[in-house]
Amino acid sequence: MKYSAKFYLEKRRGVTRNIPINLNVTYDAKRLAYYTGKRCDLNQWNGDKVVLKKKSVLANKQSASDFNSDLSRIYIVISDLFKIYNERKISPEISILRKDIKLALGKKLKPVISNTFWGRYDQYISDQIGNKNTTISSARSLYKILKNFKPDLTFESFNIQFITEFHKYLIDVRHCSQNTASTQLARLKSFIKYCFNRDWTDFNPFLKYKINTQIYGKPVYLTLEERDKIFNAKIEDGKFEKLRDIFIFQSLIGCRIGDLHKLTTSNIVGNNLEYIATKTKDNNTRTAVIPLTKKAWSIIKKYNLPNGKLLPEYSMCEINVDLKVLLDSIGIHRIVTIPDRNTRQGKQVRICDIASTHMARRVFIGALYKKGVKDAIIASMSGHVKDSKAFGRYYDVDNDDRQSAMNLIE
């Protein structure tokens, strides 16, 4: 069995100090990204020779020779392991290879996981760390919800009746929307499929259970006039002034709130703001590049934070609640129609009452779309991957769009 192993600096746009060094191991169409526990600055790394440069001064005072010896030891461990795998004619799973590396390096391993439902769920989460296309926090969140619902859950009791009752629990007790409930069931389905494919369970009830399709109504977002009304509003409360700046800045660059909180001055390159969209970094890395407008620059220059952050921190628990209060106080009261989260029937609400940080992202994408900007150009700034199914949820084709199109061929 052929394999390749190479050390590399983790890609972090704009970051030049204290960068993690990972080991990339590929074999039999499998890939392991293993963190070596070593870090160095960008200018200390010799990319051609894949070693730390001589005479480099590290933060922990370790010498360059000792640093490179530690990396060599890991490389030797990989070589020895694959000799054993080839002798035994086996191709290990990613999780097994990761465990064998840790053992060979003398690291402590987690206790052996039992074959219970919860033990396998723990192993499922552990196996996914470092793999692509997996959101670990979402899996852990579902774990807690399941534990609260049925702490004594077993594979034997996991059947179609359980899924039906769990769906009802999500709606009636946890007050999830139908879309959110479908998302949680889809995550649970992925876990059960994972177990079924590894013979941890011999029954997959999802093969006969249909999860409701997620339904999204017409995208609702602020007009540019409403956005500017918020931007120009005089706000005496310092806390809400910061919130207004955060919301407006997000609507001017179109990123997700998680990415927004990570932005620093190092993300500014010339007159552009550049960052790697979180949801694409492990799958199809996409660097979003957004030219900064005068409004965006005015907000950036307003804050000069000592930690290098572009914007002040704001409680993630409070931000969406406070946004509703803020927009209400400014008089953003336009009536819009949205689907009821449970019945999915249309209902009328004030737009301020459904305000959220994600609405700022819709303002950015929807406004550009209405101005006739091509999808590919918008996606290059919003961080969406090519042919993203979610992209269409941010704008809506109305009769004005259709009429404008027909006028072109009249």
Average pLDDT over residues 170-187: 89
Reference 337, options 324, 325, 350; nearest CA is 350
Residue of 397 and 349 predicted with greater confidence: 349
Could you tell me which CATH class the domain 224-407 is placed in? mainly alpha
Confidence of residue 283 (pLDDT cuts 50, 70, 90): very low
What is the value of pTM for the model shown? 0.53
Confidence of residue 243 (pLDDT cuts 50, 70, 90): very high
Domain ranges of the chain: 3-104, 117-208, 224-407
Average pLDDT over residues 65-94: 91
Query: Residue 342's pLDDT is what?
Result: 65
Q: Which CATH topology does 117-208 take?
A: DNA polymerase; domain 1 (1.10.150)
Q: With 50 as the cut, is the pLDDT of residue 408 above it?
A: no
Average pLDDT over residues 366-370: 82
Whole-angstrom Cα distance, residue 94 to residue 130? 9
pLDDT above 90 covers what percent of the chain? 43
Give tens-digit pLDDT for 18-68: 899 999 999 998 999 898 989 999 999 998 889 999 988 887 889 999 999
